[in-house]
Each structure stands twice: as C-alpha cells, then as structure tokens.
Amino acid sequence: MKVVVIGCTHAGTAAILNLRKMNPEAEVTVFERNDNISFLSCGIALYVGGVVKDPKGLFYSSPEKLKELNVDTKMKHEVKNVDIEGKKIHVVNLENGNEFDETFDKLIITSGSWPIIPPIEGIDLNNILLCKNYNHSNEIIERAKNSQKIVVVGAGYIGVELVEAFRDNGKEVVLVDAEERILSKYFDKEFTDVAEESFKQRGIMLATGEKVLKFEGNNGNVTKVITDKNEYEADMVIMCVGFLPSTSLFKGQLEMLPNGAIKVDEYMRTSNKDVMAAGDCCSVFYNPLQKKVYIPLATNAVRMGTLAGINLFENKIRHIGTQGTSGIKIYENNMAATGLTEESAKEEGIEVESVIAIDNYRPEFMPTYEKVTLKVIYDKNRRVILGAQLTSKIDLTQSINTLSVCIQNKMTIEELAFVDFFFQPHYNKPWNFLNLAGLNALK
C-alpha cells in the first residue's frame, strides 16, 4: 500500500508517526517544500525576543527521525499538480529542478496555511516581511538588527507577541489593526482593555480601528505606513493579518469551505474516501456552533494529524471537535480563552448572557494572593456554556481547559456552579472561581 503525504509541519508529522505505528508495512513518501519540519511557529516571538536562545528547541521532529522510521522523506520538493481521481501527483525537486510523477493508493493532505498578503500599494517594498515559518523568523531577527521603527500589521496572537518582543528589544513599535480592539477574535472588551493598557504603559503605539491604505518607500525600502487615519514611519513592517489554507492544488477535486479549507468528516476523511486532510489546510468541527469552520491552531493540527494517520485504512477513532481553546501571556497578564466570545456569539445571531466572577484565587489569609477575572458566556435559553475568558497576574490559564471540557460536554452554567473541585489554601478557595461564575449566574 503506497501512501503519499503532502506537507510536513504539525499535522503531517503527527500523521506520519501514527500511520507508521498503525501500519508498519505501508510504503510512505512525504513531500515537503521547506528544508525543515515540525517548527513551532507559536515560539517565533520568543525566538525573536531572545527568550529562546537555541531555535533547535522549537523543532520536535526532523527529516532524519522520519527516515529512521523508513519514511521516504523528500525535502525541498514541491508538489505542483495533483490528480486525485488518477491517484497521481507531479513534483519538482527545488534543488536541481528535476520534475517527476508519483502515484499513490492513499493520500494525506497536510499542506498547511500561508499568511494573507493583502493587495496593498507598496507591499512589495523591502523589509515588509511575513511571519509564519523558521526562515521567516530568522529573516525578521536579522533585519531587526538594523531597524528601529517597526510597524506590525495585525493584532492577533502573533502580531501581539511580536510587538512585545520588539519593544523589549528597545524598538519603537506601532501595532495596526482594522478592528477597534487587539485580540478581538479571542477576547471581549473587558479583557482586551487590560492588555492594551499594559502596552500603552510601555510606550507601544496602538493604532486600532485603522486600515492600511499603502506603504511608501525610498530606494526600494519601506519608510512609511499610511492608514485611513494616520501615517507611521517604519524601517520594517511585519504582516500578520491572518492565514488562508494552502489548497489551490485540490480545488474542484475535493469539497471545501468558501475560504478554500478542505472539508473533512469526524475521521479526517475528505469527500474522496482515499484522501485524508488535517491541520491548517482543512475545516474542523467547532462545538460551540456545531458546524465546520476554519481554526488554524497547532493544537488542532496535531490532533487531526494523529487521527488522519490512525484512520487512514479504516475508521477507528473519531474527532470530538474543538473549542478553539488558546492562551497568551502579555507582559504581566496571563490570558486564556475558549469557545465563543460574547461579541462573536451575537454576530452569529445567538442569544447569550454572560457572567463575570472576580475574586482572589486563594484565601486572603495566605501570604500572597492575586485577583482573577473570569467571564463565562452561555446560551440564554438553553443555559449551555458556549465560551469563557480569563485573566490574572498569576498563571491560572489551565482553568480555561476545564471550561473547554464543559463546552465539549454541553454543560449548563448551573452545573458549573456545583462541579466538584478540590480545596487547598495554597491553591484555591472552598468555592473555586469557576464555581463562583456559575453561582453568580443563578437566578
């Protein structure tokens, strides 16, 4: 049985490892256009900021490890054409230009995503960079050495983390986003206000509610970012406006979402029974909305890749969906979120209510204690929990994983009030702050 894998970051690596474990006799070939695999892009800001000194730690696998598993690992090979019905792909070797065809019995698509590059005037100027992979991170670090005024476009997780890293390295930083708040996809205003204040206190310019109209340059290098409201001097710009699935090779051959994400079932099988897909290239079932959406997260990718490898030859373990759970540290603020925000729920036309619990996470008789703020969003009629957000100066972010499970299992806000959590003064109170949110919602 001949298996071809296209792409080898998180999902691809997970698929190969599990496929090999379940089917040691399968003939497996992987094609990857880069010279590395399994790079943790969530660590780019830590690498850029100097927190991570050795980038080797940002890789959890390698081409050599795959070869040890008897996987034919073809690095710097780009797949140029795919004929799914004919079970054939056309490949070019990027090092020597040789082109050839490869056949397959089963195909695993883990082609990932690519940063959105908006058609803005001047975007081709030098020092306007993307931020996605290992090569990008090295280029950002190198060019930042000779840059003092840096503009980051896009206030999602990557943009926000980069801004902090640049500022800590003494750069003048502007963060631009068309939305009125940073991180608006993940947090409601009560939480983004806290994060924005931390940035402002450190001299970071927040240009939210501003749309980039064009870039100006001198001698081919960017010098200015012009928005619909202001102009900002810049000798380097990082574009972080989001990602789109890299699936153009499969259009017209597999069912997709409108944005090009490949649709998969609960076993990671596409509309073709011999083709699996996983990770940033495909849809994922989002439990809060009970539908397939696009959520490019490494956590989703490794789970989906694992299932693609396990289920390739027969349906064994189904995917139980995601809540899009995530976390971030912004200076002293430990923040995490799961499921819908109040704002996103209303945009979906869902009638929701929310409750906020603010308490010290452990008893006041302890030598130290810190305030935690928790918000829980729930369906007004069914009372089912749909989302939650948390922030504290002490790391309590793991609690959001508990609320992710609550959403997964369709728990109500009343049930949250009486869930059994342990009490020990070093760690919490008799009424855990998660319970407190449920209690505050009782009517």
206-224 per-position pLDDT tens digit:
999 999 999 999 999 999 9
At residue 42, does pLDDT exceed 80? Answer: no
List the Cα angle 129/134/140 in 5-degree steps.
35
- Among candidate residues 10, 77, 136, 319, the one labeled active-site is 10
Residues across the chain: 443
CB atoms within 10 A of CB 412: 16
Amino acid (one-letter) located at 232: Y
Q: Is the pLDDT of residue 59 over 90?
A: no
pLDDT in tens, 227-251: 999 999 999 999 999 999 999 999 9
Residue 411, pLDDT score: 98
**Gap between the Cα atoms of 38 and 54, Å rounded:** 15
How far is it, in rounded angstroms, from Cα 336 to Cα 406?
Answer: 15
The domain 128-239 is placed in CATH, from the list 3.40.50.1700, 3.40.50.300, 3.50.50.60, 2.40.50.140, at: 3.50.50.60
Element (H, E) at 378: strand 371-379
In this predicted structure, which of 23-37, 70-84, 308-322 has the lowest mean pLDDT? Answer: 23-37
Helix-helix angle 10-22:298-311, to 10 degrees: 30
pLDDT class for 257, splitting at 50, 70, 90? very high
Q: What does residue 218 show for φ and ψ, rounded to 5 degrees?
A: -140, 125
Task: Tell me if domain 2-114+243-311 and domain 128-239 are identical in fold.
Answer: yes
List the domain boundaries for the chain: 2-114+243-311, 128-239, 326-442
Q: What is the pLDDT of residues 405-431, one digit of tens each?
A: 999 999 999 999 999 999 999 999 999
Quick one: pLDDT at residue 361? 97
pLDDT of residue 133: 86
Q: Which of 308, 276, 280, 275 minimizes the C-alpha distance to 294? A: 280
Give start and end residues of each alpha helix (H) in 321-369. Answer: 342-347
Q: Roughly what angle, to the nearest 10 degrees, separates helices 189-201 and 157-168?
A: 20
Supply the mean pLDDT for the chain: 95
Give the pLDDT of residue 135.
86
**pLDDT reported for residue 148:** 96
Per-residue burial over 140-157, b if 16 or more Cβ lie within 10 Å, else e, is bbebbeebebbbbbbbbb
Q: Per residue, what are the HEC states of 19-81? A: HHHHCCCCEEEEEECCCCCCECHHHHHHHHCCCCCCHHHHECCCHHHHHHCCCEEEECEEEEE
What CATH number was assigned to the domain covering residues 326-442?
Answer: 3.30.390.30
Phi, psi (deg, nearest 5) at residue 247: -135, 15
Looking at the structure, give the CATH architecture of the domain made up of residues 2-114+243-311: 3-Layer(bba) Sandwich (3.50)
Catalytic, 281? Answer no
What pLDDT is recorded for position 206? 98
Is 10 noted as a catalytic residue in this protein? yes
Quick one: DSSP state of residue 303? Answer: H
| H/E element, 141 | helix 134-144
**Residues 48-60, mean pLDDT to the nearest whole number:** 78
Q: List, in order, residues 6 or more apart from 98 with CB less than 8 Å away.
A: 92
- Model pLDDT, residue 75: 92
Instruction: Give the per-residue pLDDT at 69.
Output: 86
Q: Are 328 and 160 in contact (CB under 8 A)?
A: yes
pLDDT band at 367 (very low <50, low <70, confident <90, very high): very high
3-class DSSP state of 128: strand
